[in-house]
């Protein structure tokens, strides 16, 4: 998955259109049979990338013979080929597989898959694929950890179903990430206010982002500050309850393409607004802007005075917010309840 195209002649070979420090590509191995990967190192899964490029070389980098034959001070054009081979280990059992999970990478692969599904079969199919994936994962996790049992060979289930992956820290972020992805414009319908052109833009952007950046774009990072120079908490859930319980006067939301500084309506009026250029918060903002391949839009909002809807629309865990400004019947708690029912139906 990524911004490349398949070779017309050779199988499993893709051509990269362009490559820079932001370019990201994902690979999903498919099993040809039920044997799995061999335990021998020579047959481990492998990805090989060849970079062929042209550089301008100054005279001092040329070999001696070429330097004598060339005029002093002239540069030369050189073609180079660099090959990068990556070999990956494999899990020997389910516990090793779960322990090796990187939630951000899983999210990235899911995004690529649902983009492909929505392009080929429509947004509704993409949403169903994502929902079913989480249901199946949750079912397999509960069975693997023996959290549920079947009564006397019947379809009745006993035990407490775990939809939050409490026994596997690496899997715990996934329900929240899937929830956020389902509420992202990438998988919203046209009748819900998402223009098809904007969805195409999101598809192009998300398919190129590396996992940590994609994580922020799907589930923004919400940080609180007690003053513009002092961070209070590094991360909050995207809910009004988090804002209220933190008691912090200033919140900073990083949604990758948008940065929002929100001053609570109860913030001390003596706090400078907007934050001064020499404070910690501004330094953080400037650093993030420099690191991005897209310069994010910066918004300052003063609660109680300015329209805060653009900030509140990111509080997607609330019952009445879905990220588009439209009311929704499902917050994160309701979503987990829905997944619970779907898992029970799936396991019958």
256 closest CA partner among 111, 71, 78, 89: 111
Strand pairing of 46-57 and 14-16? unpaired
Domain end point (choices 62, 78, 93): 93
Q: What is the mean pLDDT of the chain?
A: 82
pLDDT at position 321 = 45
Q: What are phi and psi of 146, to 5 degrees?
A: 55, 45
Pair 86, 110 in one domain: no
- Domain containing 132 equals 95-213
- For 99-145, give the DSSP string: HT--HHHHHHHHHHHHHHHHHHH-HHHHHHHHHHHHHHHHHHHHHHT
pLDDT at position 62 = 54
Position 273 in a domain: yes
Pair 227, 141 in one domain: no
Q: How do residues 248-258 score in pLDDT, each as one tens digit? A: 888 999 999 99
Pair 84, 109 in one domain: no
Residue 204 pLDDT greater than 50, yes or no:
yes
Average pLDDT of span 270-290: 89
Cβ-count burial 207-239 (b if 16+ within 10 Å, e if not): bbbbbebbbbbbbbbbbbbbbbeebbeeebebb
Residue 212 pLDDT greater than 70, yes or no:
yes
Pair 51, 79 in one domain: yes
Kindly state the helix (H) or strand (E) to which residue 47 belongs, with its residue range.
strand 46-57
Position 323 in a domain: no
| Backbone region of residue 315 per phi and psi (left: phi > 0; alpha: psi in -120 to 50; beta: other values) | beta
Position 341 in a domain: no
Q: How do residues 130-169 score in pLDDT, each as one tens digit? A: 999 999 999 988 888 887 776 665 556 666 788 888 888 9
pTM, full prediction: 0.80
Pair 151, 250 in one domain: no
Average pLDDT of span 168-181: 91
CATH number at residue 160: 1.20.120.730
Position 344 in a domain: no
246 pLDDT tier (thresholds 50, 70, 90):
confident
pLDDT at position 94 = 83
Q: How do residues 298-335 score in pLDDT, each as one tens digit? A: 999 898 888 888 888 888 887 654 444 444 446 788 88
pLDDT at position 91 = 80
Residue 175 pLDDT greater than 60, yes or no:
yes
pLDDT at position 161 = 84
Q: How do residues 96-109 score in pLDDT, each as one tens digit? A: 888 889 999 999 99
pLDDT at position 90 = 80
DSSP secondary structure code for residue 7 in this structure = -
From CA 2, how far away is CA 309, in angstroms rounded?
A: 33
Domain end point (choices 73, 93, 113): 93
Structural domain count of the chain: 3
pLDDT at position 258 = 92
Asked whether the beta carbons of 164 and 116 are under 8 A apart, the reply is no
Position 326 in a domain: no
Pair 122, 231 in one domain: no
Pair 77, 137 in one domain: no
Pair 31, 61 in one domain: yes
Position 321 in a domain: no
Position 207 in a domain: yes
CATH number at residue 247: 3.40.20.10
Cα dihedral 34, 35, 39, 44 sign: negative
Other CB atoms within a 10 A radius of the CB of residue 163 amount to 21
Residue 229 pLDDT greater than 80, yes or no:
yes
pLDDT at position 221 = 92
Domain end point (choices 167, 193, 213): 213
Pair 112, 61 in one domain: no
pLDDT at position 134 = 92
Residue 39 pLDDT greater than 80, yes or no:
no
Pair 102, 85 in one domain: no
Position 335 in a domain: no
């Amino acid at each position: 998955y990524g911004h490349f195209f398949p070779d017309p002649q050779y199988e499993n070979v893709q051509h990269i259109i362009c490559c820079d420090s932001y370019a990201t590509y994902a690979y999903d191995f498919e099993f040809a049979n039920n044997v799995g990967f061999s335990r021998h190192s020579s047959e481990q899964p492998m990805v090989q990338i060849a970079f062929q490029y042209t550089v301008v070389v100054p005279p001092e980098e040329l070999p001696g013979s070429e330097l004598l034959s060339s005029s002093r001070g002239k540069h030369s054009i050189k073609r180079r080929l660099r090959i990068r081979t990556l070999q990956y280990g494999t899990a020997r059992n389910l516990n090793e597989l779960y322990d090796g999970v990187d939630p951000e990478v899983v999210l990235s692969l899911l995004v690529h898959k649902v983009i492909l599904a929505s392009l080929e079969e429509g947004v509704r199919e993409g949403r169903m694929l994502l929902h079913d994936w989480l249901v199946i994962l949750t079912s397999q996790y509960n069975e693997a950890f023996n959290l549920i049992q079947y009564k006397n060979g019947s379809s009745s289930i006993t035990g407490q179903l775990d939809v939050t992956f409490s026994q596997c820290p690496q899997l715990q972020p996934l329900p929240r990430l899937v929830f956020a992805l389902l509420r992202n414009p990438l998988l919203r319908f046209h009748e819900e206010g998402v223009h098809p052109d904007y969805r195409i833009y999101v598809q192009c952007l998300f398919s190129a982002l590396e996992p940590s950046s994609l994580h922020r774009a799907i589930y923004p990072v919400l940080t609180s500050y007690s003053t513009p120079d002092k961070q209070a908490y590094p991360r909050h859930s995207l809910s009004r309850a988090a804002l209220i319980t933190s008691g912090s006067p200033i919140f900073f939301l990083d949604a990758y393409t948008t940065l929002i500084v929100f001053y609570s309506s109860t913030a001390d009026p003596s706090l400078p607004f907007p934050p001064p250029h020499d404070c910690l918060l501004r330094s953080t903002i400037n650093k993030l802007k420099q690191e991005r391949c897209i310069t994010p839009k910066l918004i300052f909002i003063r609660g109680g005075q300015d329209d805060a809807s653009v900030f509140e629309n990111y509080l997607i865990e609330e019952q009445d917010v879905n990220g588009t400004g439209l009311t929704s019947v499902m917050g994160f708690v309701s979503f987990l309840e829905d997944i619970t029912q779907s898992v029970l139906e799936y396991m019958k």
